[in-house]
């Protein structure tokens, strides 16, 4: 019996990773009714990561009242699987939580994310998997750390709010009230970017404008990040300025490194390891994957690229589906067997984003192409 792995990232705004995989499975059944399909909901560390992992890891949902990115209360959740907590930064500090007219990374905070982490630690969690996509913030993780008991002080000893505007004023960091259990907790910081903490390719310069920053604000934020990096080097002996990935989520990744036992990892690799994806490749004839748009970035840390790298090591061919495919020839050079657009003819974006149309198109595309693929 042939075995096909179905591992889709979500088509954001249209269909979830699980819905897409189930639609693909229907396409397989239409052509190869005796074929075994293995479904892997996939995410790359951004929004949707916890949802993708929850069912596969038999995790339960924990909901907490926390402080949102604007300082207002909200309900946010994380997933708990044994002593591992799956926390999505976007659930408590995401850009979608802030109305467009109020977006300002000088003022937003990750404090609520720290509250989720503190709750997980209080329940005995000793491994925090933190997905770092979709943030509304540029506070370098000071909000998270403040919720975990750290205090950030200016040169007069006054406590500063944990927001981006405070970074340039931090002179001292008080750790006396930090959660004692943190020393026993391991953090995996899952992200899909390699930006450094500060500088022309850093968190503020590249991403702050997407979060509502004006050009002058970007300059202020980057200067604050540079200052804060120098403070951390002096006080904690850790130089984070040029660490790849340190700029993820407005500097959260780099900001946590000096304070907790943390490692920055590719989001998709983190997810694939947690799901034991490599084990599932044993005996597989084909992997069908996909994300909303496939382009040159898809082979640079995104879901499709991560899956392709794992499958290539085992000699398992990979077919990728997407609502849009750009530069298909370059994608084939990366080793993909095929890169297929589920809409062969142009249609209005509003129609392409409809969930029912997306899922039907995935089923139809999978069924049509299986007739032509050489499956081992």
Longest alpha-carbon distance in the chain: 72
The answer on 177 and 66 residing in a single domain is: yes
Distance of alpha carbon 103 from alpha carbon 112, whole angstroms: 17
Contact 22, 37 (CB under 8 A): no
The answer on 152 and 12 residing in a single domain is: no
The answer on 159 and 11 residing in a single domain is: no
pTM of the model: 0.88
252 vs 373, residue with greater confidence: 252
pLDDT reported for residue 374: 47
Q: How far is CA 365 from CA 57, 75, 288, 293, 339, in A?
A: 29, 39, 11, 16, 11
- Helix (H/G/I), strand (E/B), else coil: 172: strand
Distance of CA 242 to the CA centre of its chain: 21
Residue finishing a domain among 240, 268, 296: 268
The answer on 106 and 191 residing in a single domain is: yes
Residue finishing a domain among 268, 302, 322: 268
Distance of alpha carbon 253 from alpha carbon 190, whole angstroms: 9
The answer on 249 and 335 residing in a single domain is: no
The answer on 157 and 38 residing in a single domain is: no
| pLDDT of 357 above 50 | yes
The answer on 148 and 178 residing in a single domain is: yes
The answer on 223 and 90 residing in a single domain is: yes
Contact 248, 202 (CB under 8 A): no
pLDDT reported for residue 170: 98
Distance of alpha carbon 366 from alpha carbon 87, whole angstroms: 33
Residue finishing a domain among 235, 268, 301: 268
- Token pair of 141, please? 């993780």
Distance of alpha carbon 44 from alpha carbon 193, whole angstroms: 10
The answer on 24 and 54 residing in a single domain is: no
Conformational region of residue 354, where left means phi above 0, alpha means psi within -120 to 50, and beta covers everything else:
beta
Does residue 280 fall inside a structural domain? no
| pLDDT of 363 above 50 | yes
Residue numbers of the domain that contains 118: 49-268
What's the structural domain count of the chain?
A: 2
DSSP β-bridge partners for residue 79: 61, 86
The answer on 75 and 18 residing in a single domain is: no
The answer on 36 and 77 residing in a single domain is: no
Place of tokens 């849009």: 324
Does residue 150 fall inside a structural domain? yes
Point out the least confidently predicted range of 1-5, 99-103, 134-138: 1-5
188-210 pLDDT tens trace? 999 988 999 999 999 999 999 99
34-67 pLDDT tens trace? 999 999 888 777 777 888 788 788 899 999 999 9
Does residue 279 fall inside a structural domain? no
The average pLDDT across 91-107 equals 97
- Helix (H/G/I), strand (E/B), else coil: 226: helix
The answer on 316 and 345 residing in a single domain is: yes
Distance of alpha carbon 199 from alpha carbon 330, whole angstroms: 30
Helices (H) and strands (E) in the chain, counts: 14, 15
CATH number at residue 24: 3.40.50.10350
CATH number at residue 250: 3.90.1510.10
Rg, the chain, Cα only? 22
Does residue 282 fall inside a structural domain? no
Does residue 276 fall inside a structural domain? no
Share of the chain above pLDDT 90, in %: 74
Does residue 164 fall inside a structural domain? yes
289-314 pLDDT tens trace? 998 888 765 554 478 888 999 999 99
Does residue 275 fall inside a structural domain? no
Contact 246, 254 (CB under 8 A): yes
pLDDT reported for residue 280: 94
Does residue 255 fall inside a structural domain? yes
pLDDT reported for residue 237: 92
- Helix (H/G/I), strand (E/B), else coil: 77: strand
pLDDT reported for residue 301: 47
């Amino acid at each position: 019996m042939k075995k096909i792995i179905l591992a889709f990232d979500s088509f954001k705004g249209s269909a979830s990773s699980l819905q897409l995989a189930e639609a693909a499975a229907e396409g397989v059944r239409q052509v190869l009714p005796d074929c075994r399909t293995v479904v892997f909901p996939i995410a790359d560390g951004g929004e949707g990561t916890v949802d993708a992992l929850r069912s596969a890891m038999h995790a339960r949902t924990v909901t907490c009242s926390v402080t949102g990115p604007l300082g207002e209360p909200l309900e946010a959740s994380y997933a708990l699987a044994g002593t591992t907590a799956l926390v999505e930064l976007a659930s408590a500090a995401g850009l979608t939580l802030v109305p467009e007219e109020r977006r300002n990374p000088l003022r937003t905070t990750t404090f609520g994310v720290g509250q989720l982490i503190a709750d997980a630690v209080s329940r005995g969690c000793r491994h925090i998997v933190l997905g770092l996509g979709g943030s509304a913030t540029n506070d370098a993780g000071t909000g998270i750390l403040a919720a975990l008991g750290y205090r950030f002080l200016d040169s007069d000893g006054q406590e500063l709010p944990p927001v981006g505007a405070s970074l340039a004023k931090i002179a001292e960091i008080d750790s006396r009230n930090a959660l004692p259990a943190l020393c026993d907790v391991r953090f995996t910081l899952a992200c899909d970017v390699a930006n450094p903490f500060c500088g022309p390719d850093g968190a503020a310069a590249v991403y702050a404008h997407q979060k509502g920053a004006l050009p002058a604000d970007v300059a202020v934020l980057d200067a604050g990040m540079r200052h804060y990096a120098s403070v951390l080097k002096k006080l904690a002996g850790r130089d984070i300025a040029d660490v790849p990935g340190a700029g993820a989520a407005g500097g959260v990744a780099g900001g946590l490194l000096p304070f907790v036992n943390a490692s920055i990892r590719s989001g998709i690799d983190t997810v694939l390891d947690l799901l034991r994806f490599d084990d599932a490749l044993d005996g597989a004839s084909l992997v069908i994957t996909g994300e909303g748009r496939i382009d040159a970035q898809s082979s640079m840390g995104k879901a499709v690229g991560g899956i392709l790298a794992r499958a290539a090591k085992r000699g398992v061919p990979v077919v990728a589906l997407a609502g849009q495919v750009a530069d298909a020839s370059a994608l084939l050079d990366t080793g993909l067997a095929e890169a297929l657009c589920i809409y062969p003819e142009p249609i209005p974006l509003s129609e392409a984003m409809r969930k029912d149309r997306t899922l039907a198109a995935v089923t139809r595309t999978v069924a049509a192409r299986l007739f032509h693929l050489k499956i081992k």
